Amino acid sequence: MSVPADYILGESTHEQDRLILQARILRPFTEKYFRSAGMTQAMRVLDIGSGMGDVAMLAGDLVGPGGYVLGLDRDGASVKRARQRTVEACSPWVSFIETTIDDFSTAEQWDAIVGRYVLLFQPDAPASLRKMIRFLKPGGIVVFHEHDMAGMQASFPPCALWDEVRKLVPEVHRRAGLPPGFGPRLGRTYLDAGLPFPTITADVVVGGGPGSFLYSWLASTIISLAPRLPSLGLSLPPGVTADETLAGKLEEAVVAQGCQLVGATQFGAWARKPLC
């Protein structure tokens, strides 16, 4: 089975639900980066790789009904669901279109270009970013939220089950030819796209104990990745299955040993397009 290099997690209904779960976890970080970058009321925003629409709807909350957000995604099923969720959220100033970065074009000039967990899936991230900033007003903001899985620490005290399962996520990305962490590449990417070196900040996700969101986040990610494991020469630990029981097994093992968990580091980077 060939592994798609652009979105290794697939486009299943489960993956759509996983993205919504992930968005709830990541929203505080993304919102902080957007506000720090200068996103305000009445702005017009392009969201790249919208998925289920959560980043676009977050931007919509910040720009308000006086602004406008257009989300772009290549997957028609995701666009359909994002549109439905926007209707349910009563946010008519947020809309979505099905398109790729290469195919997208507009005569409009935008105040901001944003994205979350999207640059790492681009074959040439600086080229993709360079194309998109053509649609940005001089002085407009470019803000992206990416992560780094490569530097994730092991649990402490060590929990073998957690550590073995967790290591699969960055390893799948490596073997599929994707960077396991794009956060450390953001500065160079902005420069290569013709932007100033961005302001960059980082936050570390920490969890553990009963009810931590990290169990369901990791388990749902593994379920999405599971169909790719055999073709990449990878497998789950013996006795572990990629199903609805996985989160509970992870929680039971971690809580029994009183472990502290450290998730992927979240990076936010923002810069303004030069005025000339």
Summarised one tens digit per residue, pLDDT across range 94-140 is 999 999 999 999 999 999 999 999 999 999 999 999 999 999 999 99
Q: In this structure, is residue 6 part of a structural domain?
A: no
> In 40-119, which ranges are continuous DSSP H helix?
54-63, 76-88
Q: Which domain holds residue 26?
A: 13-272
CA distance 230 to 248: 24
What pLDDT is attached to residue 2?
Answer: 32
Q: In this structure, is residue 201 part of a structural domain?
A: yes
- Strand, helix or coil for residue 45: strand
Q: In this structure, is residue 7 part of a structural domain?
A: no
Which position has the higher pLDDT, 12 or 242? 242
Name residues whose C-beta falls within 8 Å of residue 84's C-beta, 6 or more positions apart in sequence: none
Q: In this structure, is residue 5 part of a structural domain?
A: no
DSSP state string for 110-156: EEEEEEES-GGG-TTHHHHHHHHGGGEEEEEEEEEEEEE-TTPPPPB
Whether the pLDDT of residue 6 is over 80: the answer is no
CATH of the domain at 18: 3.40.50.150
What pLDDT is attached to residue 202?
Answer: 97
Q: In this structure, is residue 3 part of a structural domain?
A: no
> In 100-204, which ranges are continuous DSSP H helix?
125-132, 160-175, 186-192
Whether the pLDDT of residue 271 is over 50: the answer is yes
What pLDDT is attached to residue 76?
Answer: 94
Q: In this structure, is residue 84 part of a structural domain?
A: yes
Residue 181 pairs in a beta bridge with: 148
Q: In this structure, is residue 102 part of a structural domain?
A: yes
CA distance 84 to 90: 10
> Is the Cβ–Cβ distance between 143 and 111 less than 8 Å?
no
Q: Looking at the 3D structure of the chain, how many domains does it have?
A: 1
Terminal C-alpha separation, the chain: 48
pLDDT tens-digit map of 145-178: 999 998 788 999 999 999 999 999 999 999 999 8
Cα angle 33, 47, 151; round to 5: 50
Q: In this structure, is residue 17 part of a structural domain?
A: yes
Question: Among all chains, which residue has been given the structure tokens 């720009």?
Answer: 63
Whether the pLDDT of residue 263 is over 80: the answer is yes
Residue 147 pairs in a beta bridge with: 266
